[in-house]
Amino acid sequence: MIEQPKIELPKVTKVQPPKRVAPQDLVRIGGPDDIQPPEHVKRQMIADDNRKSTGTFELCVNEAGVVSSVKLLRSTSYRDYDNRLASAVRGWRYRPHTSNGMAVSVCSTVTFIYSIK
């Protein structure tokens, strides 16, 4: 009888889902602050007699501080403005979030409020 060589399987490390953190726990270090709606959206808001628009997004940031995903949670009611906001958020950069001295992936939310005076 031939003895089969023992096969050693690689150790599998459990991938942890991103940790949820409060928005104030993230430190943004890059990306625009004031993201205005496109001019045609501003005109549409006035025509709609809508002086205030609010949109909320979930964003996840990887261990390097790079935004890895953006998800619309609450629309501004203007698709072009939602798209502009999402695009800007994708370009944001953060200081890596740490837990127990290790950089970890995290998710949080960001809310935008635009008002016409």
Q: Which segments of the chain are extended strands (E)?
A: 19-20, 28-30, 52-61, 67-74, 93-94, 97-99, 102-104, 106-115
Distance CA 62, CA 107 (A): 9
Residues 38-78 pLDDT 10s: 999 999 999 999 999 999 999 999 999 999 999 999 999 99
Distance CA 71, CA 84 (A): 13
The residue among 13 and 115 whose pLDDT is bigger is 115
Residues 5-30 pLDDT 10s: 777 766 666 667 889 999 999 999 99
Fold of 19-115: TolA/TonB C-terminal domain (3.30.2420)
Identity of residue 87: S
Q: Degrees (nearest 5) of the Cα angle 73, 81, 66?
A: 60
Task: Indicate the pairing of strand 93-94 with strand 28-30.
Answer: antiparallel
State the pTM of this model: 0.84
